[in-house]
Amino acid sequence: MHLCKQQKALKTCGAEMLQRSLKSLNELEAAKERKRAAFVETARLPVSPPTTNSRVPNLELDFSTFNYAALSPLY
């Protein structure tokens, strides 16, 4: 039974090597590792944004140039 699994795996690997134009099992393993690493890199969860942002405007409002006369009398 174990021999059948090995033969099947060898056939599968051989087919993959032909598809990828590889000459050895080591090259196939390296190609699989590169593919796995690329997948892991793209599947990585996004990093949470920093808690401080220099683009956030200063929330202190400057009313020194505000025209209060332009307000409606109802205010």
Higher-pLDDT residue of 43 and 37 is 37
d(CA 54, CA 51): 10
Residue that wins the pLDDT comparison between 20 and 58: 20
Least trusted range by pLDDT, from 16-20, 30-34, 40-44, 50-54: 50-54
Per-residue pLDDT, 44: 75
**The model's pTM:** 0.51
pLDDT in tens, 41-64: 887 767 776 666 666 566 677 777
pLDDT at 58: 64
